[in-house]
Structures are given as structure tokens and as C-alpha cells.
Amino acid sequence: MKTVIVEDSELIRTQLQRLLRQQPRIQIVGTATEETEATALILRTQPDLVLLDLSLAPGSGVHVLRKIREAGCGARVLILTNNTGQSLRLACQQLGANGFFDKSTELAECLAQIDALLPPLPNNESLRLEALHGTHLVDTPEQEAFDNLTQLAARITDAPIALISLVTEDRQWFLSHCGTEVRETSRSIAFCAHTILRNEMMVIEDALEDPRFHDNPLVAGGPRIRFYAGVPLVLPSGEAVGTLCVIDHQPRHLSDGQRSALKTLASSVLAEIELRRRLLHLEQESERRRAAESHILHLATRDPLTALPNRATFRDRLDQHVRFAQRRHTRIGVLFIDLDHFKPINDSLGHDVGDDALVKAAERLTKVIRNSDTVARLGGDEFAVILADIAGHADAVQVATKIINSLRTPFIAKGHTLHLSASVGVAMYPEHGGQGDQLLRHADLAMYQAKQTGGDKTCLYSRALSERAEETQALDTDLREALRRDELILHFQPQANLSAGTLCGVEALVRWRHPHFGILPPDHFIPLAEQRGFIGEVTRKVLDMALRQLRDWDEQGLEVPRIAINVSPSEIRANFAEMIEAALFRNGVEPQRLELEITESTLSSDGVETMQLLEQLRSIGVSIAIDDFGVGYSSLSQLHRLPIDCLKIDRSFIEDLETSQFDLSIVDAIITMAGAMKVRTLAEGVEKDGQLHILEGMGCHCVQGYLLSRPVPAPEAAAWMTDFMRQPRPLELAS
Ligand code: C2E
Ligand code: CA
Ligand code: CA
């Protein structure tokens, strides 16, 4: 209820304001202290209620009352005064005051009357408001369908005004208004606020005769309602959101026909409201579906981690670019990017850190390339870029270099400082492929080449890469076959302690007896088996053949103290020790007679895990030799911590031993160091007497090399060893 307070005493004014604010349905729209100001305020704000003091300084409340009534204002006016003389009371009544109270004694009565003026609220008010706002009709523009219905209502009932009134928290708002330009009034004076309390039509034939409305501002002032008939608009869910009503300025009544017509029209209004509600619902539903679809599309086309296009999207775009380039005779560059050594980051620091690093790497890539280019995450630590419309491969390589450089600045991922580098392969349209998939495959091949040659570099695709890849693929198939067909065989190379004249052992070296190419050395197929992940099968085969050979020699009475086999770095992982133990058991060989040769690089790669595995092997009783020692990364000072039995000094140090002071001092240091640690030493690749003498002088335990014997098939090895044990100085044999 919009209320104005006219009172010149500040004390009383603030007290009134405080009291009225306790009723949330009362809204004080202004206060005034003197006559002119008060009159102007009331006429401007058109309140529903005025609390009026009679003695104003300057001016008089009686004057205010007269002036506003003369101006047609119908607001209810309650007089609050100290001057309660009977004649004054009468005068005020005649001027249209609606109540007269003694300020000092009747304040409570006054407030009670104000409360009584507020129309009661329906029991389901909050549900009702929810349902009303659910229609999304309040404060919408006029709609023809509703206007047609109010016009019809006015015509049928022969009334000057017809309205569709929606009753909100504090207003009635007219969804359609026929016969008046007014679009809303306060709820506190609305007839319709009473209609919605009922289930059926409310008819007020003469408002002046009804105690609820006789002094209603809409009756006393514009639009001077005398007659009202309203049908509540009750939604299917049971809430009355408003009315369809007709109004006349004369007292009158409705015929039965008019009543039922008005009800029918109200049903039509409801049908329209319901129709709109459903349409809106459908719209919202399809909006939701659209949003869901675009979300799904995003999921299908984007990589969820980096939000870059995914592999499928990349392939699509690449095809588009190729078609475009075909028509325009332009070129495209395709970059295949793979982060170097990324797996250890994930493994050791956790996936959170890895993911964060990938997101940041993606950001850097995006910054380096142009807007017209596409960068995508293909999966894992692989990214790819389309360089649209590029002049030539030199430019593409330049972008690739920029990318590598951009990744070189250390990353901070979840608090960890990471140093990343990348290998990038470049393929060009049209020279390196006419189709998207081919370009991507060739860029991948080039990336692989970059990685193979140390990483942190760019490689441009060439035909030779494909040829090599094809050969490798063919070899791969053949090698798997070879394993099944027992085409792998062993050659043996003896290891001897010359000063003692004893045989230390024999190294088993694998060969492939290829049906077309003859005997292939291990470097033709071992790296392939390592890459393709079936080196384990090769090792199992070699291990079994070697152990069986040792047993055979035992049975022939040839006592070979130990057999050594080579183990690839990638095999040094879980279950390896069990596999070894099972093979020893299967072949009935004591663990002490097996030596595993592992390269130095294996030791430096993954500390803890490798160390545990070596300990495990040693606990079985197997002996461990470091192969190719000296060329790897481990420093001599680390050696004492490793659980090893033998150091095999790399061939490269032996080769120039007679002439190179440098090699001499290294080999000397290795032997001294190993001696201190009680680790055996074995020199590889001994081909000359001179080398042998030097090694003997330094105290090297064993030697292996062409000087003694090349790696040879078992029978020849047996013959050599038998001979050696009978004639203990092969040095003299050789010379
Ligand atoms: P490695 O373990 O260092 O093997 C020694 C290699 O040096 C052998 O080559 C051998 O023939 C060669 N060699 C021995 N004495 C001399 C010499 O006096 N002068 C010269 N110039 N070379 C000598 P091979 O048999 O071609 O083996 C090459 C590599 O293949 C091996 O190096 C080893 O790393 C790997 N390999 C051999 N057999 C196996 C196997 O069964 N499993 C695995 N994983 N790797 C193997
Ligand atoms: Ca070896
Ligand atoms: Ca070696």
C-alpha cells in the first residue's frame, strides 16, 4: 500500500515511519511537513493512503484534503490530530476523510484500521506467486490474443472497461486493458486481490454499498468504479494468478448469460496462458537440448584437458586445408610434436603435475602459431599443427624451431620446475603427401627420426624415412615369425683369465638365421624387438638356449664355469627376477653360473626401481655384469652403491690402449676402482697381444675378444674351450 505521511513534527513523523515499516506490505512513498509540499507530493505519487496531520507549519491539513479531493484524488485519508473537536471531525468527513484519530490516544486504533485496509492474502500465496512468475507473463508487451478476449468481455457485458489482471506481490498488473490506459495499481486497493481469494466469480453490483470498497481510492477517485465483476484465473495446478474482470462507472448487475459468457472467456484466457506456458517450456527445453548438444559437440571435438581440437577434429581440418590448397595451388605444413622424456614426469611427479605441464605446453604452442593455423592435441604428449598457406618447408622448419624454443623456458607445474623439450617432424603438402592422413603419418615418421637421433630437434620428412619404416615393418613381421620358427641361434665367445690360465665363462650372443639374408647380427633386430615391445620373448628364448647349452656341455664333461647373456634395459622391471628364476629351475642350472650383462645406461635411468630389481636378482644368486662400462653416464664414484659383480670395460677403451695415454689412464682407474670394491673386471674387444699385456699388467681379471676367439657356434666354442683348458696360454697359441 503506497502511503504518504504528512506531519510537521519530526518526532511523530519518524515514530510513524518506524511503526509502518513493521508491516512489509506498506510502502512509504513520501513524507511532507507543510501544505503546498504535501498537496504536490500526493498528487504526484497518487498514493493509496495518506496519514494527515491537520495543523501544519505553514498551512493546514484541511486545505490539503480539500485540494486533493478537488483534483480527483481518491486516496484513503486518515486524519491524525491533536485537535479532536467535533466540528473539525465533521468538516473532515464531509471533505472525504476516511478516519479521524487522536494522535496521543488513538494511534493503535489508527494502525488497526490501516491493517484492515490491506486485502487478505491467499493461503497458498508463495506457491501462487511462484506459479504466476512461472508464466513469464508479467511486464510483457501487449498481446493480441489477450486483447481480443478483453474486448469481447467488454462487449458481451456491455461494460466500459475490461481487464486481465495478474496479481503480483504488491501490484495488480494488466496483461490486457480494454477501456483504460492504466496498466497497474497497487495490490492493496485492487478488487482483484479479493477475487483471487475465491474459486468463483465475484460481483460487486455497487461498490459504494460494500464496506470493503466504498472508500476504495479506485471508487472515490479515478476510474470511479461502481460496478465490478471478476472471474479468478485458476491454473490447472490450482493457483489463482489473477482475474478477468469488467468494470462500470454505474451500479448494475449481470444477466445469467453475461455471467456464463464471462466465465467462458476466463477459461479462454487460461487456455492462452497455459498455451504460452507450454510453448515457453518447449523453448526452454529445446534451448537446454541445444546447450547439451553443443556441450557434447565440444566434448567430441575438443580435448578436455587443454581445450584444443582433438585428433578427429584435427584430421577433419587437415582434409579441409588439403582440399583448399588443391584448388588454390598453395602449400601446407604439418608439424608433429612430441614432448621428450615426458613419461618420467607423469610417473615420478604424478598425473596432476603432468596434466598441468601439458596445459601450459598447449598455451605456449598456441602463442607461437598464427590465428589461421590449427594446433591440436592428438593424445598423451603429442600435439600437431597445421600451417595453412606457407611458402615452403624452410618456413615450416622455422616455425618448428620456434615451437621447440618456446618450450625450452622452464615450466612451473603445480609448484615443480620442469625442463621440457620436444621433437618435431615436418611434412609438406603437396611434396610429402597429397592426403591428410599421409601428411600426418609422414610428419610422425619425421618426428620419430628426430627423437631417435636424440630429441630436442626438428626433422623434415624424406622418402628415405618411409622406406626405412617399411623395411622395419617387414622385419618386425619376420622377426615374430622367426621366434616361432626357432630361427634365433646363439654364438658363444669365451672369457678367460690369462694369468691364471683359467676359463672365466662364455658370453652367449644371439644371431638370426634368416631364410633369405643368412646370419644377421643382433644390431639388425635387437633394437627393433626393443622398440616393438617383444624383446622379452627374445630374452626368454636366449636364456633357455644358453642354459640348455651349458647343461649339454656339462653332460659332455666340458666344465664351463659361467654363461653370460645380454639383457636389454627395458626388461629391467617387475617379474624379471621370477622369469630368470623359473628358467634356471627349468634347466637345472645353479644361479651362480648365470651372469646377466646389463648396460650402464640402465643404471642411470631409474634409480630406486632398478636398484631393487638388481638386489632381487643378486638374492637369487645370479651374478651381474655392467656391459660397455665407461661409455655410459654413471660416474665411478657411484659404483660402490651398485649391487654388481663384474665390470666389462668397453671395447672403445681397449682399441687404442697401446697408443692412447688417455685410454690407458681411464682403464687403469676403472681397474683400480673395481679392485677396491672387490668387483671383477673384464676387458672386451681384446684383439692384440699388446693390449693383453697392458691389461695383465694393470691387474684386469678377464679378457674377451677376437684375440682369443670370435663368437662362434657351440661346437666350435666347445672345441676352443677344451683346447684352452688343456693348453692354458692362448697367448702363445695365437702368436
Ligand atoms: P656386446 O654385449 O657388447 O657384445 C659384444 C660384441 O662385441 C659382439 O657383437 C661381439 O661379436 C663383438 N666383439 C667381441 N670381441 C670383439 C673384438 O675383439 N673386436 C670387435 N671389433 N668386436 C668384438 P655382436 O655379437 O654383434 O653383438 C652386438 C650387441 O648386440 C652386443 O654387444 C649386445 O649388446 C647385443 N646382443 C647380442 N646378443 C644379445 C641378446 O641375446 N640379447 C640382447 N638384448 N642383446 C644382445
Ligand atoms: Ca655383452
Ligand atoms: Ca659390450
In CATH, what number is assigned to the domain containing residue 649?
A: 3.20.20.450
Atom of ligand 1 nearest to the CA of 686: 18
Q: Is the CB of 493 under 6 A from ligand 1?
A: yes
Q: Is the CB of 601 under 6 A from ligand 1?
A: no
Q: Is the dihedral of CA 192, 198, 201, 205 positive or negative?
A: negative
Nearest CA to ligand 1 atom 3: 628
Nearest CA to ligand 1 atom 45: 566
Ligand 2 centroid – CA 484 distance (Å): 24
Q: What is the DSSP letter of 244?
A: E
Structural domain contains residue 637: yes
Nearest CA to ligand 1 atom 13: 685
Q: Is the CB of 705 under 6 A from ligand 1?
A: yes
Ligand 1 centroid – CA 525 distance (Å): 13
Cell numbers that stand for 461 in this block: 620428412
Structural domain contains residue 467: no
Residue 488's nearest CA partner among 549, 445, 541 is 541
The separation between CA 338 and the C-alpha centre of its own chain, rounded to angstroms, equals 21
* Cβ pair 227, 248 in contact under 8 A: yes
Structural domain contains residue 287: no
Ligand 2 centroid – CA 317 distance (Å): 50
The answer on 603 and 508 residing in a single domain is yes
Nearest CA to ligand 1 atom 11: 711
Ligand 3 centroid – CA 553 distance (Å): 24
**Which residues of the chain register pLDDT less than 50?**
730, 732-735
The answer on 334 and 365 residing in a single domain is yes
Answer left, alpha or beta for residue 490, where phi above 0 means left and psi between -120 and 50 means alpha: beta
Atom of ligand 1 nearest to the CA of 684: 15
Which tens digits make up the pLDDT trace of 408-436? 999 999 999 999 999 999 999 999 999 99
495, 509, 513, 649: residue to mutate for ligand 1 pocket, most atoms within 8 A of CB: 509
Ligand 1 centroid – CA 306 distance (Å): 46
Structural domain contains residue 732: no
507, 549, 566: residue to mutate for ligand 1 pocket, most atoms within 8 A of CB: 566
**Ligand nearest, relative to CA of residue 711:** 1
Q: Is the CB of 627 under 6 A from ligand 1?
A: yes
Nearest CA to ligand 1 atom 15: 705
The answer on 605 and 539 residing in a single domain is yes
Nearest CA to ligand 1 atom 7: 685
The answer on 586 and 514 residing in a single domain is yes
The answer on 622 and 717 residing in a single domain is yes
Q: Is the CB of 566 under 6 A from ligand 1?
A: yes
Q: Give CA–CA dist 720/493, Å, rounded.
A: 10
Cell numbers that stand for 475 in this block: 622385419
Structural domain contains residue 28: yes
Q: Bridge-partner residues for 161, per DSSP?
A: 247
The answer on 47 and 66 residing in a single domain is yes
Atom of ligand 1 nearest to the CA of 567: 44
Domain with residue 212: its CATH number is: 3.30.450.40
Q: Is the peptide bond before 58 cis (omega within 30 degrees of 0)?
A: yes
Atom of ligand 1 nearest to the CA of 523: 30
Which residue shows C-alpha cell 615436418?
A: 426
* Cβ pair 163, 245 in contact under 8 A: yes
Domain with residue 343: its CATH number is: 3.30.70.270
Atom of ligand 1 nearest to the CA of 628: 3
Structural domain contains residue 231: yes
Q: Is the CB of 711 under 6 A from ligand 1?
A: yes
Q: Bridge-partner residues for 683, per DSSP?
A: 649, 703
The answer on 537 and 411 residing in a single domain is no
pLDDT at position 735 is 40
Residue 505: which residues within 8 A CB-CB, separation 6 or more? Answer: 494, 495, 560, 561, 562, 563, 564, 595
Atom of ligand 1 nearest to the CA of 704: 15
Structural domain contains residue 483: yes
Q: Give CA–CA dist 620/542, Å, rounded.
A: 19
Number of compact structural domains in the chain: 4
Residue 386's nearest CA partner among 336, 433, 434, 451 is 336
Which residue shows C-alpha cell 509540499?
A: 37
The angle at the Cα of 370, spanning 410 to 339, to the nearest 5 degrees, equals 35
**Ligand nearest, relative to CA of residue 629:** 3
The answer on 611 and 509 residing in a single domain is yes
Q: Is the CB of 517 under 6 A from ligand 1?
A: no
DSSP letters, 364-426, are HHHHHS-TTSEEEEEETTEEEEEE-S-S-HHHHHHHHHHHHHHHHSPEEETTEEE---EEEEE
pLDDT at position 633 is 52
Atom of ligand 1 nearest to the CA of 522: 30
Q: Is the CB of 628 under 6 A from ligand 1?
A: yes
The answer on 645 and 722 residing in a single domain is yes
Nearest CA to ligand 1 atom 25: 509
Ligand 3 centroid – CA 603 distance (Å): 15
Q: How many residues does the chain have?
A: 735
Residues, CB-to-ion distance under 5 Å, ligand 3 = 627-628, 684
**Ligand nearest, relative to CA of residue 507:** 2
pLDDT at position 83 is 82
The angle at the Cα of 72, spanning 70 to 77, to the nearest 5 degrees, equals 85
pTM, two decimal places: 0.55
Nearest CA to ligand 1 atom 27: 522
Q: Is the CB of 521 under 6 A from ligand 1?
A: yes
Ligand 1 centroid – CA 521 distance (Å): 9
The answer on 234 and 269 residing in a single domain is yes
Atom of ligand 1 nearest to the CA of 597: 2
pLDDT at position 312 is 92
End-to-end CA distance of the chain: 125
The answer on 251 and 203 residing in a single domain is yes
Q: Is the CB of 526 under 6 A from ligand 1?
A: yes
Ligand 3 centroid – CA 611 distance (Å): 21
Q: Give CA–CA dist 279/106, Å, rounded.
A: 55
Structural domain contains residue 298: no
Amino acid at 620: I
Q: Is the CB of 652 under 6 A from ligand 1?
A: no
The answer on 686 and 604 residing in a single domain is yes
* Cβ pair 233, 267 in contact under 8 A: no
Nearest CA to ligand 1 atom 35: 522
Which one of 280, 297, 328 terminates a domain?
280
Residue 178's nearest CA partner among 248, 111, 117, 122 is 248
Q: Is the CB of 568 under 6 A from ligand 1?
A: yes
Domain with residue 110: its CATH number is: 3.40.50.2300
Q: Which domain does 264 fall in, by range?
A: 125-280
**Ligand nearest, relative to CA of residue 597:** 2
Ligand 3 centroid – CA 627 distance (Å): 5
Atom of ligand 1 nearest to the CA of 491: 25
